[in-house]
Structure 1
Amino acid sequence: MPKKVFITGASGCVGHYLIEMLLAKTDYELYLLMRDRRKLQIDVRDRANVHIIEDSMQNIHKYQDLLRTMELVVSTAAGWGGEEAFVVNRDQTIALFSFLDPQVCERAIYFSTASILDSHNQIIPEAGAIGTAYIASKHACLEKLESSTIRDRLITVFPTLVFGGAVDKPYSHLSRGLKDILKYVPYARFLKTDGSLHFVHAYDISQIVTHLLTSNLEVRSPARLVLGMQRLTVQDLIAQFCEYLNIKVGWQFDLQPWLVDAVIKLFRIEVAAWDRFCIAQRHFTYDVVSPETFGLTSKYPRLANLLAETSKK
């Protein structure tokens, strides 16, 4: 019998890549929760193993009986701000995982965010204390899930900066804004600052998640996987952007943290506590995994791969 997998946030950027890959590589029965089926850009009309559930996470309790039959669950749904963030990201997500039957469920994958972790992949208390509604709700949810009845089969994935999208898939927030970001590169190339980050493409995320759903990989609780490519410094980022635009980097002004703080004070710029914390932190780097970690091959290992895709839009 094909295994059953329940996927929330199925009509989103990552959801599209994951559904496409699961259909290509497995015979799983897919149960796709989405608020608006018209947003699904994959033609599943002739797919008897695809079941679309047009509803929101707020009504997840209506599917308790169905969830108890699921061997696999992937929760990508997210509320981005305000009270909805706590309702979806904390309350309803905790409810979703509580409905799973420990005697049936084999693997549960929860999408969190790398923003709530430090460089050693440990939860930072500031995420819960001063984080935005999105950050604080993700922080609260993880603490509950890692002490739940399915914690021994729970894998939490923490995407770093997510890119992705195509003519037949919705774009991530970053990919939608990438062309606008490029407009500022001719000015940003004159600035130098200390900082670093990771990125990951939705295609490579789906590769990893598909592997987790189809392999017998043993996990140690709490299982935390931060998804990202190799570390990029801000200077690497600017240099690669400039190379793509065929402009020279040249002389750079060293933008020290104290100067940023002085500008904020001088112009009386309102900065939230979480934003100030992030400005001070500067390095958003982690102990990451990529498709290569699991013997797979990244399709977007470098920024150049992303920029090449941008030029095709």
Structure 2
Amino acid sequence: MSPAPSGPAGVRRPQRILITGASGCVGQYIAELLLRETDAELLLLLREPSKLTAVAATDPRITLLVGDLRDLGSPGADPALARAIAAATRIIHTATAWGDPERARQVNVEAVKTLLSLADPEQLEQVIYFSTASVLDRRLRLLPEASQYGTEYIQTKALCLQQLEDHPLAARIVAVFPTLVFGGRVDGSGPFPTSYLTAGLGEAARWLWLARWLRADASFHFIHAADIARVCLALATAPHEANPEVGQGALRRIVLGQPAVGVNETVRRLGQWRGCWLPPWGLDLRGWLVEGLIRLLRIEVNAWDRFSIRQRHFVHEPISPPERFGRVSHAPTLEAVFADAGLPHRGPVPRSPER
């Protein structure tokens, strides 16, 4: 654990770590790990305490801050929230919003400004700000198409990143960019909330009968929420330093992910896990065929969807799994993700029939 602020007569005080979005999937993995492996006091900012399942709200090291980020700094806001934010030595900002453009702007842009304005520069050592890897290109530069074609979520994340680059606290901010996030259990059991991607594993398994006949030249990174928590633990328990990354500005950019995996490889490994026979060939999903399927099936696609179809390979260099910070990944492979999610394993893959 890094040296924490000292109290009277040099007595060491534990870090006070504020986590926003603390009832979400990633927020709960972070809170549970920090509670288990550090002596930090945790300030958990959330809207619905009933959704907090991975840690005990009654733990003496936990303080619940119940409120909406959009209300911070408003005349009617609880002054206790402002005092708690000002007392934080570290902030891990995971809270986000999507779906409604106005709400996304308020939460993903305006609330971030307010949150940082309420922090005490004399107390605050570090901010770990959560964005999304979708706004970055391969070399971790801001992707122009994110602002041009992105959904309200992606556009507001891109805008916030641009503003943070010039923020007075930029040198204390570490921006982390998760790739595709797994977490929790497929059936919703267990202490952690289920991420949207993990929830979709069961549906993906049900479509294997079709997917195994298709081929797509595309690739991506993934990361488990437990491994996101491991990286946050490493960052939040080390002395903050000036950005050591080559070619970046004051604001450090870290893409959280395991090595890239192809879509075809993913289907193959999911098929093996489910005991589904996979043919040695398949129909290549090229641009014209994808466009035909979209029209035939009357699938709604937006500008970002079309850009993603053209882009195909959402990969980044460098990526940062826990190993980059001296930690060991909880789920470094897709098979580990399937097992952790409780996706039923159907045994060895049957041999293909003799020809």
Tell me the TM-score range normalised by the shorter chain: over 0.9
Choose the corresponding residue for 1:16, options 11, 23, 28: 28
| 1:45 Cα deviation from its structure 2 partner | 4.7
Moved more, 57-66 or 245-254: 57-66
| 1:248 Cα deviation from its structure 2 partner | 2.4
Structure 1 counterpart SS, 2:254: strand
- Confirm whether residue 68 of structure 1 aligns to residue 106 of structure 2: no
| 1:217 Cα deviation from its structure 2 partner | 5.3
Aligned partner of 1:252 in structure 2 is: 282
Residue type at the aligned position of 1:134: Y
- Confirm whether residue 275 of structure 1 aligns to residue 272 of structure 2: no
Q: How does 1:1-313 map to 2 (within 5 A)?
A: 1-61=13-73, 62=77, 63-82=81-100, 83-166=102-185, 167-216=190-239, 218-220=241-243, 221-250=250-279, 251-264=281-294, 269-287=299-317, 288-311=319-342
| 1:27 Cα deviation from its structure 2 partner | 1.2
Asked whether the equivalents of residues 133 and 177 of structure 2 are also in contact (C-alpha less than 8 Å), the reply is yes
| 1:20 Cα deviation from its structure 2 partner | 0.8
Residue type at the aligned position of 1:113: T
Asked whether the equivalents of residues 31 and 55 of structure 2 are also in contact (C-alpha less than 8 Å), the reply is no
> Which whole-Å CA distance do the structure 2 matches of 1:135 and 1:72 have between them?
25
Q: Which runs of 5+ in 2 are unaligned?
A: 1-12, 244-249, 345-355
> Which whole-Å CA distance do the structure 1 matches of 2:342 and 2:314 have between them?
27
Greater helix fraction, Structure 1 or Structure 2: 1
When residues 17 and 43 of structure 1 are mapped into structure 2, their CA distance, relative to the original with a 3 A threshold, is: closer
Residue type at the aligned position of 2:46: M
Asked whether the equivalents of residues 198 and 284 of structure 1 are also in contact (C-alpha less than 8 Å), the reply is yes
Count of matched residue pairs = 313
| 1:247 Cα deviation from its structure 2 partner | 2.0
Asked whether the equivalents of residues 102 and 149 of structure 1 are also in contact (C-alpha less than 8 Å), the reply is no
Moved more, 84-93 or 45-54: 45-54
> Which whole-Å CA distance do the structure 2 matches of 1:21 and 1:308 have between them?
20
> Which whole-Å CA distance do the structure 1 matches of 2:252 and 2:93 have between them?
15
> Which whole-Å CA distance do the structure 1 matches of 2:198 and 2:171 have between them?
35
Consecutive aligned runs of 4 or more in structure 1 exceeding 6 Å deviation: none
> Which whole-Å CA distance do the structure 2 matches of 1:236 and 1:43 have between them?
36
> Which whole-Å CA distance do the structure 2 matches of 1:177 and 1:270 have between them?
19
> Which whole-Å CA distance do the structure 2 matches of 1:243 and 1:268 have between them?
31
| 1:219 Cα deviation from its structure 2 partner | 4.0
Q: Which runs of 5+ in 1 are unaligned?
A: none
Structure 1 counterpart SS, 2:330: coil
Structure 2 counterpart SS, 1:68: helix
Structure 2 counterpart SS, 1:67: helix
| 1:262 Cα deviation from its structure 2 partner | 3.7
> Which whole-Å CA distance do the structure 1 matches of 2:52 and 2:194 have between them?
13
| 1:98 Cα deviation from its structure 2 partner | 2.4
Instruction: Let me know the Cα RMSD of the aligned residues.
Output: 1.7
Residue type at the aligned position of 1:72: R
Q: Please, what TM-score do these two structures have when normalized by structure 2?
A: 0.84
Asked whether the equivalents of residues 179 and 310 of structure 1 are also in contact (C-alpha less than 8 Å), the reply is no
Asked whether the equivalents of residues 98 and 149 of structure 1 are also in contact (C-alpha less than 8 Å), the reply is no
> Which whole-Å CA distance do the structure 2 matches of 1:217 and 1:106 have between them?
7
> Which whole-Å CA distance do the structure 2 matches of 1:147 and 1:100 have between them?
17
> Which whole-Å CA distance do the structure 2 matches of 1:244 and 1:267 have between them?
29
| 1:46 Cα deviation from its structure 2 partner | 4.4
Moved more, 1-10 or 39-48: 39-48
Moved more, 65-74 or 37-46: 37-46
> Which whole-Å CA distance do the structure 2 matches of 1:147 and 1:43 have between them?
36
Percent identity, aligned pairs only?
39
Structure 2 counterpart SS, 1:289: coil
Structure 1 counterpart SS, 2:72: helix
| 1:310 Cα deviation from its structure 2 partner | 3.1
User: Max radius of gyration: which structure?
Assistant: 2
Q: Deviations over 1:117-164 (max 9, x none)?
A: 111111112211221111111111111112111100100100000000
